Structure 1
Amino acid sequence: MPSTTSGRIRRPAALIGAALLAASVAACGSADGSSTAATLPSASASATAGVLGISDPWVKAADKGMTAAFGTLVNDGDADVTITGAASEVSPMELHEMTMKDGTMVMQPKEGGIVVKAHSRATLEPGGDHLMLMNIAKPVRAGDELTFTLTFADGRTQTFTALAKPFTGAQESYAPGHGDSPMPEMNMSPAA
């Protein structure tokens, strides 16, 4: 994680991280030979347009039902950015959060979207904010690459790709309408 001064990420470290992320994505192409590098913002676009950098994106492998996507959202811009929606070809999606309700940790839609403050990061993680795939149309197997499109409050969109990984932790309970089950102890690390 870049060093901070008074809670703000130092721009050189953040820009270097964004450049490394863009370079690593540029080295990976899709099966048809095209590159996904154009879907991620460059460091300068991130700083001027307020578009997010996305590091370590991943999705929990699942055979059916629901699953979720995670990663770290980086805002090197001078204005807050609000994600108001997410989409995938695999399933309808919602922005979700985990919160305490009547003494139980439950998952529910995140009202107002996910805000990434200027010059900061927001983590999408099991047991916290995440992008929820509501009813997957086909199994998501470890090693699959899924494409997601984020929609921002100002109408802009951004696409990114996440790798599916096996993960047994954070079996969250669901808010009313999503089912009710007790939440067991949570393991926050994906299997490699």
Structure 2
Amino acid sequence: MIQLNYYKILGLPVQPCIDESVLKANYLKLSASVHPDREGERPHEDPEQPDAALVNEAQRILSHTPSRLKHLLTLQTGSAPGNLRQVPDELGDFFMEIGALLHKLDTIIKDKPGEDASELSRILFLKKSMSIRQLVESMLKKINQQIDRLQLQLESLNEGWKLIEADHTISPELSENLTPLYHEWTFFERWRGQLSERLLEMTV
């Protein structure tokens, strides 16, 4: 099976970090040229030119950091990085704290008043959920700080990537360093999504 190169489709260098403004500009330009409504205007179009669906998919993958890193690792190693079933040791404390927080949230959500509940029931639920909401917001702040840390690591790794990219010889060490970063980012983003979803469910 031929591995698509989304970087090539959108005219971007194959590296961990991208210039979002260039991605947006290239996407809009290419998207306009392959839009189905313009099909009749392209009588001599390149048969290898991507269709609109592929252009949209490339933009979706490259604009989302974990998806982009997964795609990059797949291009470099020939196979997608596997999903870690076990949380890395360095994330153990986060895992335990977030797990306990999610359990508390699920317990509170079970007591959420229905649409036909009285105003008093809603007020009591809001008071009950206020303290846990503050804990969740504090944890989300910590998670965002960790993602910011990973972003700095990614930018540092990107500099080394650019230095040797011209030789088309990305060292195995760079790919190896990228893999744990990808896994950490994936865990933090998953936890952030789970907590944000629970906060939304608590809304009355």
Q: Same fold (TM over 0.5)?
A: no
Q: Which structure: larger Rg?
A: 2
Greater share of strand: 1
Relative contact order: is structure 1 or structure 2 higher (C-alpha 8 Å, sep ≥ 6)? 2
Choose between structure 1 and 2: higher helix proportion. Answer: 2
**TM-score, length-scaled by structure 1:** 0.25
